[in-house]
Amino acid sequence: MTVASDVKTCLSSLKSAQASLEQFALSTQDQNAKDLFTAAAQQTQQVVDQVAQRVQQLEQEEPQYKGF
């Protein structure tokens, strides 16, 4: 595997984790848990944004990895 594919795999995993956190926040009735899951989802979204920027940078530097 290339670095680009590893980073893209990581990005997919992060998006999945973030979606799970949002789902947990929606499904719980406990307000403390809801707040915790929401905060974790927001933090994860920040990481997703940073990794997505890195993917774009990799694709600009190495066009052959675009779209994989």
Domain spans, the chain? 1-63
Burial status of residue 55 (CB atoms within 10 A of its CB: 0-12, 13-18, 19 or more): middle
Q: What is the pTM of this model?
A: 0.86
Rounded to whole angstroms, how far apart are CA atoms 11 and 7? 6
Q: What is the pLDDT along the chain (68 residues), one digit of tens a residue?
A: 688 889 999 999 999 999 999 999 999 999 999 999 999 999 999 999 999 999 999 888 887 867 66
Residues 55 and 8 sit within 8 Å (Cβ to Cβ): yes
pLDDT value at position 11? 96
Position 2 scores a pLDDT of: 82
